[in-house]
Homo-oligomer: A and B are copies of this chain.
Amino acid sequence: MENDIKVFQETRAKIKAYGYFTWLMGWDQETEAPKGSVEYRTKQYQIMATEMYKVESDPLYLEAIERLHQHLDDITDPDFKTEIKNTYKGLRIIKLVPMNEYIDYQVLASQGSHIWAEAKEKDNFELFRPTLEKIVEFNRKLVKYLETDELKGYDILLDFYEEGFGIKEYDLFFNTLKTELVPFVMQITEGKPKSYNRKLSKQAFPVDKQREFSHYLMDVFSYDKNHGLLKESAHPFTSGVSSTDTRITTHYHADNFASSIFSTIHEMGHAIYEMQNDLKYDDTFLHGGTSLGIHESQSRMYENMIGRSKAFWDLHYPKLVKLFPRQLRNIEVDEFLAYINQAKRSLIRIEADELTYALHVMVRYELEKQLINGTLKVKDLPRQWNQLMKAYVGKRPRTDREGVLQDIHWSGGAIGYFPTYALGSAYAAQMYQAMDKEINVEKEIAENNIKAINLWLKEHVHKFAGSKTPKEILQICTKEEFNPMYYVDYLKRKFR
């Protein structure tokens, strides 16, 4: 066993080193690499990926994992145990799916996004349909290969992305939203847009001033500049490789100044989570956070619950007015708050507001469930999409581009991913309540002491990295099981 541990640790170190360079290449590519450099870079990456594959598929390493997994009970370090369990789980696909099918699928998934992009651009679902059919078909076969006594069907895919969350948990969650939130949303979003919309959306906000405000926000949130940086990219993202190097990007549009503000805060939520992972996980596979849902809970909490709060803007609005004196001349802080917190019936998920966002996700969850169950055919997907959008968000897409073709996820094979987006917001509401029992969150925000919030989240969520499951994190943090009513209550209180 000692030798197996040694083999595991040495191989892990190599995998992490290759991973570091892959990470850096991605960061460079998305933020500054010259356009014309893509071909040379791709060539180098392919060679490196082959080298990395050799390391990851070394029989000595795979056998060590097998044996360590057989003697899991003899492993005393719980973190190491978790790593072995996770790694072993990851190897099941390679062991159980016939190699040729798996490779065919990898190729399909890597080409899928190009085909999807063309279909979206041409607003033609038929171009994408055959690819999506194959992707769904493979996933239906995949869950057969992987099924166990405990996990079957769509549950397997859901568990990939959020361990411990399957149809049972998500049905409970989304049924609550259906009963409690949908009627509320329909009522709230009736009526005409407000006048501040016109005042704010018709103006240009100089990009350099937006940039200055984003850097101001980094200080407000105590984002650790010694271990990260803020840059620009087409789509904002967080890119972390260790607790000592977690970078973020945002984007600046002169005609949408709120977008950069909330993108920056959202990404800081992700980044502060990873930066506050315990340092000891940097050299393990556990660094980075436990799940997509928990990750999203942090970004959404920072963005929506802190960043869109009255306490926050009562304090920081004057700074914004100072940067944009002309544009914000006639806008009071309460109007500004109403502007950044308005709920609308909209078609595009990534532009949706806090109130309706989860309902966009619910549409996708129900469709995925039916696709994998086999009760929905891909050819019927657009019609079904439009019906559910009308039922849950109150608006029916006129085209597939603003309907079923809007998101990239399925084209890359990611089925079971979407639900974590909604879960994140619900986790956030429940965590916020728990935190608010121990520290006065609004007071800390009002006193420009977000550091205290970071610290609480570090102790109750962040420091554990991937060493606990999402359910365990929730238990540690809130001392309860997952309960979506916190989320519903929060939204109703805020938007009423």
Contacts and interface: CB of A to CB of B under 8 A. Distances in A.
A228, A229, A242: most-surrounded residue (chain B CB, <10 A): A242
Nearest to A27: B28
A244 B40 contact: yes
A17 interface: yes
Nearest to A46: B17
A48 B55 CA distance: 12
B44 A245 contact: no
A225 interface: yes
A51 interface: yes
Contact of A21 (B25, B241, B247): B25
Contact of A44 (B21, B33, B34, B35): B21
A245 B21 contact: no
Nearest to A48: B17
Given A20-B41, A226-B35, A13 B47 contact: yes
Contact of A282 (B28, B40, B225): B40
Contacts of A150: none
Nearest to A14: B47
A151 interface: no
A23 to B, nearest CB: 9
Interface string A421-462: 000000000000000000000000000000000000000000
B44 A17 contact: yes
B34 A229 contact: yes
A27 B31 CA distance: 14
A51 B231 CA distance: 31
B226 A36 contact: yes
Contacts of A17: 43-45, 47-48, 51
Interface residues of A, number: 40
Nearest to A17: B47
A32 interface: yes
Stoichiometry, as copies per complex, reads 2
A53 to B, nearest CB: 13
A466 B100 CA distance: 44
A276 to B, nearest CB: 14
A204 interface: no
A494 interface: no
Contact of A51 (B14, B35, B37): B14
A492 B244 CA distance: 55
A225 B24 contact: no
Nearest to A13: B47
Contacts of A244: 34, 36-37, 39-40
A215 to B, nearest CB: 14
A85 interface: no
A49 to B, nearest CB: 9
Contacts of A18: 48
Contacts of A25: 21, 24
Interface string A79-96: 000000000000000000
B229 A36 contact: no
Contacts of A71: none
A39 B243 CA distance: 11
A33 to B, nearest CB: 7
24 contacts: A13-B47, A14-B47, A17-B43, A17-B45, A17-B47, A20-B40, A20-B48, A21-B44, A24-B28, A27-B28, A32-B229, A32-B231, A34-B229, A34-B245, A35-B226, A36-B227, A36-B244, A37-B227, A37-B242, A40-B241, A40-B244, A40-B245, A40-B282, A41-B245
The 8 closest A-B pairs by CB, nearest first: A37-B245, A17-B47, A36-B226, A20-B44, A21-B21, A40-B242, A17-B44, A36-B227
Interface of A: 13-14, 16-18, 20-21, 24-25, 27-28, 32-37, 39-41, 43-45, 47-48, 51, 224-229, 231, 241-242, 244-245, 247, 282-283
